[in-house]
Structure 1
């Protein structure tokens, strides 16, 4: 298991809703690489509910989109943008759960388009949400000059730590 180092920490103007650890109302996601997968253990919070004790579907879609971008950063060493996303909801994600697990991997690549497959599971391992995100990959030079992408490195870690997204 390897912790993915956030290459934008400390960059002036960086306020990503999904992954900025200092964003006051953001998701504050952290990512790890486990073989072909990028994973995130995230704690649902009550302020993100749609219905009582149920994580809003739009937040679930945002979580899936964010982890997909980190697959792009890590596996392709570039950045990109979402061009299409499909989400299927199978069972509720509870805001009372201690955590949920997100797992994403490359599903298919055709030139500069890549499909990322995402699964969101509850603490019992039950599939709650599945997403397919198609990303348009930027050429590495454009990612560097336009989006300050300098690469996406990792550091070794023993195991998946406590869930990210803590208040």
Structure 2
């Protein structure tokens, strides 16, 4: 897999809860490209629990929404906003797991609407949560002009996200 380069890292005012490394309250996700999918390996932490040693469902939704948005960013080279998210919680997620794996796949593109499936697995490889997210995307010209977005690339080297 190749690590996706965050195009917002040097943008003034950037403080995304999902992917900004300097947001002290955030989840600080990294993303990788694996064929048609975008992948993230994330370490659960106790401050994100709902019940004792259980990852809060809202945080699970944040993680999946974020990875789905990055699938749009990387695969379609544009961005947008979430218009709907249908989430199914299948199995509770322990904050004691050493890592969780998330994957997002674009399922459909119709004009400026993009449907993305996001999935979250625990350390044992059990599917715990899945969502179907719909995004309203902006034109490439609009994100270029208004957000100074010039593209979303990957690093050259292959990496193992578990060792990053």
TM above 0.5, one fold?
yes
Displacement, 1:163? 7.4
The answer to whether the 8 Å contact 1:41/1:163 transfers is: no
Identify unmatched segments of 5+ residues in structure 2.
none
Report Cα offsets for 1:103-143 as digits up to 9, x if no partner.
Answer: 00101111110100011001111000000110011000111
Residue 43 of structure 1 contacts residue 163 of structure 1 at CA under 8 Å; is this kept in 2? no
Q: Distance in 1 between matches of 2:125 and 2:96?
A: 15
Task: Output the CA distance in 2 between the equivalents of 1:151 and 1:74.
Answer: 8
Structure 1 residue 46 displacement after superposition:
0.2
Instruction: Give the structure 1 partner of residue 152 of structure 2.
Output: 152
Going from structure 1 to structure 2, the CA distance change for 1:157 and 1:34 (only over 3 Å counts) comes to same
CA shift for structure 1 position 148: 2.7
What TM-score do the two structures reach when normalised by structure 1? 0.94
Partners of 2:128 and 2:94 in 1: CA distance: 10
Q: Offset at 1:60?
A: 0.4
TM-score, normalisation: structure 2: 0.96
Which residue matches 1:38?
A: 38
Aligned alpha-carbon RMSD (Å): 1.2
Is the counterpart of residue 67 in structure 1 residue 67 in structure 2?
A: yes
